[in-house]
Amino acid sequence: MKKIGVLAMQGAVDEHLKKLKAVGAAGRKIRSEDELDQIDGIIIPGGESTAIGKLLEAFGLMEPLHKKIDAGMPVWGTCAGMILLAKHICDQKKTYLNAMDILVRRNAYGGQLDSFTAMQRVKHVSANEIPMVFIRAPYIDKADKGVEILAETRGHIIAAKQKNMLATSFHPELTADNSFHKYFVELC
């Protein structure tokens, strides 16, 4: 059984753990460097990227996690997790894991009240349309050549893959659909 970590600093941690169980993987909360060594892949959940970023530093996990990703460990960032993976963030100098060659725009669709849902097909993930929940979501403004675009909505990139890294603007863990978690576990 694949062991998949969920970075447990802040945000939608339990929701991802439930999904992992539903697709037959063993979910593990990750809060230390030791725990990072015991998993086949890691999910960085949605929440608040500034808060998760500060906690990653405080827990001494920023560098070790960066190294793991660099060494090829599969990682999937959802929403705030996508922001944490990005090498570039619009209107902001500070970046976090500096791993993925994307420029992301935070709160790109507006504030909490502008949250919305959509139905969309995602390349590699599902042949059918799957539900997507966007909550103060970012989108990818620009992606370098090495980044494969998996889905766009409202004219912007909302799912992408680069080598071992996967990023989504939306929250598959908050819907009834399991296809994204299934896909990620297969990558691990």
Looking at the annotation, which residues are catalytic? 79, 171, 173
Q: Is 130 annotated as a binding residue?
A: no
Q: Is 135 annotated as a binding residue?
A: yes
106 near ligand GLN, rule: CB under 6 A? yes
Answer for which of 28, 105, 136, 161 binds ligand GLN (CB under 6 A) is: 136
Cβ-based burial of 79 (10 A; exposed 0-12, middle 13-18, buried ≥19): buried
User: Which residues are CB-contacts of 91 (< 8 A; sequence separation ≥ 6)?
Assistant: none
Cβ nearer to ligand GLN, comparing 106 with 161: 106
Q: Is 31 annotated as a binding residue?
A: no
Q: Are 147 and 130 in contact (CB under 8 A)?
A: no
135 near ligand GLN, rule: CB under 6 A? yes
81 backbone φψ class: left, alpha, beta (φ>0; ψ -120 to 50): alpha
Answer for which of 83, 140, 160, 188 binds ligand GLN (CB under 6 A) is: 83
Cβ-based burial of 155 (10 A; exposed 0-12, middle 13-18, buried ≥19): exposed
Cβ nearer to ligand GLN, comparing 2 with 30: 30
| R_g over Cα of the chain | 15
7 near ligand GLN, rule: CB under 6 A? no
Binding stretches for ligand GLN (CB under 6 A): 46-49, 79-80, 83, 106-107, 135-136
